[in-house]
Structure 1
Amino acid sequence: MASSSALDLPSISHIISVHLECDNYPTWLAQIVPVLSSCHLLSYVDGSYPSPSPTISDPKAKETLETCFASPNQNHLLQLRSDLLRMTRGDSSITDFLDRIHSITDNLALAGAPVHESNLLAMVMNNVGPLYENTVVAAQAREKPIGMPDLEALLL
């Protein structure tokens, strides 16, 4: 677990205004060293402290990323399914709507509870709103059932 003094990766860009290039090493170094020092990371970068092993050598080790972050927590699965069922396009663009759906379905799949394509198709078609009614009717009227990639192409 990260210490309370560790920086989040996205926040470091607010602290380091100079990006390393061929002609600005001294300026960049003057900014990065205090940041790494304050996070107790400088000793890993300058080699004075050995870096931890990039892999876990004990096959019985429980502290892996998958165990910590992708384990199928029942409450988390219920929340994701609930979010998916309540998802509507509303005022958002069709691209944003589909991106939000993909984010949720990707998380469900990673947690071992993938959403069947027919359920996803029904959910999308029922929630895109009246602006896409003709597109949905055309997709449903096809002789061959439509797949999710084809439906997305029609909606976009």
Structure 2
Amino acid sequence: MSSSAASSSSVLMASSSNISNFLTIKLDRTNFPLWRAQIVPLLRSRNLLSFIDGSSTCPAAFLTDAEGKLTKSVNPAYEDWIQQDQQVLSWLNFSLSSTVLSTIALSTSARTTWVSLEKRYASQSHNRILQLRSDLMRTTRGDLSIADYLDKVNALADTLALSGSPFNDDDLVAIIMNNVGPMYETTVASRSSS
């Protein structure tokens, strides 16, 4: 194994022991945008995003000789690539709820797992966005303190933004003001702009 491959392997192994510190949200049927918001930066920070976006392809398993004929010598680049791909796959699997993991358990590469997850759960995101927008429109203060109510509304708005469907700030303030009344106008203005 080359020194750069050994260095890459040690970085992967060292960082995998702390992966639970970075992957706090497990993917379930309802939180694909939130889950994606944590897994993509993690992979990008370790130069591993190419394993899920398809831009990194597996090298040939065996080396070729000077005449271009396959030899029986295993390609070290192939072994390194497989190791990194399986590391990414294990991180993906670690970040899935048991229900979701059971749907991709037969996937053998990070890319096929990612494609399967996107196909299955990103398509549900549209329905989830509609549900979140409806929840936001119907959220009332009830017995909540003003701070707790604003946190609840902001959490829904943030989830919509992560889903790629941000809610207009003016509309958000109007919804809040309709539920809390004019005596909280200053509080609402300061909290919703943060």
Q: TM-score, normalised by structure 2?
A: 0.37
Higher-RCO chain (CA-CA 8 Å, sequence separation at least 6): 2
- Structure having the larger proportion of residues in helix: 2
- Structure having the larger proportion of residues in strand: 2
Q: TM-score, normalised by structure 1?
A: 0.45
